[in-house]
Amino acid sequence: MGKELNIKVKTKFASKISKGFPLVIKESIANSHVLQEEGSIMRLVDENNRFLAKGYYGKQNKGYGWVLTQSENETIDQTFFNGKIRAAVEFRKNYFEDPESTAFRLFNGEGDGVGGLIIDHYDGHYVISWYSKGIYSFKDTIIKALQDTVEVKSIYQKKRFDTKGQYVDEDDFVMGEQPAFPLLVKENGVQFAVYLNDGAMVGVFLDQRDVRRKIRDEYAKGKTVLNMFSYTGAFSVFAALGGAVKTTSVDLANRSLPKTVEQFSVNGIDPETQNIVVMDVFKYFKYAVKKALKFDMVILDPPSFAKSKKFTFSAGKDYTNLLKDTIAITEDNGVIIASTNCSTFDMKKFKSFIDAAFREMNGKYEIIEEFSLPTDFKTVSEYKEGNYLKVVFIKKIKG
């Protein structure tokens, strides 16, 4: 383990840390010059040298590290990490016991007590995402803690930090018996083909599990469904299995076509019966208007920020316009499922975008469902930004 450094926290920020705020932001540190090697243990003290917490130094976005413990006599060692992993496993006991869902998040960063560390579980195979050089320096200890606690078939890793100006995704495979890809995992009885060795995105976003189930079980039957920013078509597969008349999946990336074909196929749905379109969504909106296409359900799940040849999209600035385009091609009494994973605004702000869009379109609406992260994506109340997911089901009411 790295050596312990005394880090002075400015008075303005000290009480926040005492109350359990887990992120050590850059501006809060008075003597940042002593921080040199990422992975060093920071002994955080206030300006009167009173102990606040211990954490590690690791640069990640605005942060200079994360708090690991508020007790002065706890050491950050193998026992510490074993305890964190054990608690995380215990918390997800129901997930381990559910044969119908074999993919879930095992460790969710600061929500499980170690910011910058994410571990996902795919039927006995694990993917560890390291969000800074600092947390990566604990690699051996954390991997041992995982192996000590659960049965591990194999481990893959994603380095989600900047190494010499580049995000590298090499050396994904760490240890164990490599599965054949695609690896088939289940979610509420539905199959997903995932590729743990294929860059940052493995084929499915696990945080939408509850939303997908809701769509399949209560909203899809008899409906025409448009899935925008569809990636591998996970929402479309659930909609089709729930009895949708037809799904249309739109994504700009070429890879989305074969991947969506594969997700339908592994679930026994003939992809030929569905519509899969490789296109910029903003172009598709124009196309749909021109062809007078309208849908009973439109799913919007854009990235927080995206740049295509013609358009730039930033969730914080452009969501209202995205909704306006969507309202125009949604049937009366149809449902818009608006989702965002943007952590720079909260649910209240998101609803204000929705309200503005309908107002500007002179339309009426009713919010009928709301979702945030599922329980395996554990968060702490002291760090609200960690609960980034906001999903709203909006019924378009005939004006």
Among 11, 308, 344, 352, binds ligand SAH (CB under 6 A): 308
CB nearer to ligand SAH: pick between 137 and 256: 256
Segment 349-388, which members bind ligand SAH (CB under 6 A)?
none
- Inter-residue contact 368 to 337 (CB < 8 Å): no
Q: Kindly report whether the peptide bond that precedes residue 182 is cis, defined as omega within 30 degrees of 0.
A: yes
Site residues (CB under 6 A) for ligand SAH, limited to 225-284: 229-232, 234-235, 250-253, 256, 280-282
CB of 103 vs ligand SAH, minimal distance in Å: 13
Measured CA to CA, the distance from residue 232 to residue 68 in angstroms comes to 36
**What is the C-alpha separation between 212 and 206, in angstroms, rounded?**
10
Number of chain positions touching ligand SAH (CB under 6 A):
21
Neighbouring CB atoms inside 10 A of 107's CB total 28
CB closer to ligand SAH, 52 vs 239: 239
Q: Which is nearer to ligand SAH, 73 or 254 (CB)?
A: 254
Task: State the CB neighbour count (10 A cutoff) for residue 245.
Answer: 13
Give the Cα separation of 90 and 292 in Å (integer): 52
CB nearer to ligand SAH: give 54 or 212: 212
Nearer to ligand SAH, 57 or 231 (CB): 231
Residue 46 sits in the site that holds ligand SAH (CB under 6 A): no
Of 101, 132, 137, 208, the one binding ligand SAH (CB under 6 A) is 208
Alpha carbons 203 and 321: distance in angstroms, whole number: 28
> Cβ of residue 108: shortest distance to ligand SAH, in angstroms?
18
Please name the residue that has the structure tokens 């109340």. 381
CB of 149 to ligand SAH, least distance (A): 29
**Residue 303 interacting with ligand SAH (CB under 6 A):** yes
Residue 62 or 307 having the CB closest to ligand SAH: 307
Report the nearest approach of ligand SAH to the CB of residue 196 (Å): 16
* 207 interacts with ligand SAH by CB under 6 A: no
Give whichever of 280 and 382 is closer to ligand SAH, judged by the CB atom. Answer: 280
Q: Which is nearer to ligand SAH, 108 or 256 (CB)?
A: 256
Q: Does 61 bind ligand SAH (CB under 6 A)?
A: no
- Please state, in angstroms and rounded to a whole number, the distance separating the CA atoms of residues 70 and 54: 6
Our finding on whether 300 is near ligand SAH (CB under 6 A) is no
Q: How near is the Cβ of 299 to ligand SAH at its closest, in Å?
A: 7
Residue 219 or 231 with smaller CB distance to ligand SAH: 231
Contact between 293 and ligand SAH by CB under 6 A: the answer reads no
Per-residue interface string for the shown chain with ligand SAH, residues 110-129, x marking contact by CB under 6 A: --------------------
Give the residue, chosen from 96, 205, 287, 305, that forms a contact with ligand SAH under the rule CB under 6 A: 205
C-beta of 54 vs 209, nearer to ligand SAH: 209
Q: Does 13 bind ligand SAH (CB under 6 A)?
A: no
Cβ at position 312, least distance to ligand SAH in Å = 9
Q: Rounded to the nearest whole angstrom, what is the least distance from the CB of residue 205 to ligand SAH in the complex?
A: 5
Shortest distance (Å) from residue 348 CB to ligand SAH: 23
Residues that bind ligand SAH (CB under 6 A): 205, 208, 229-232, 234-235, 250-253, 256, 280-282, 301, 303, 306, 308, 311
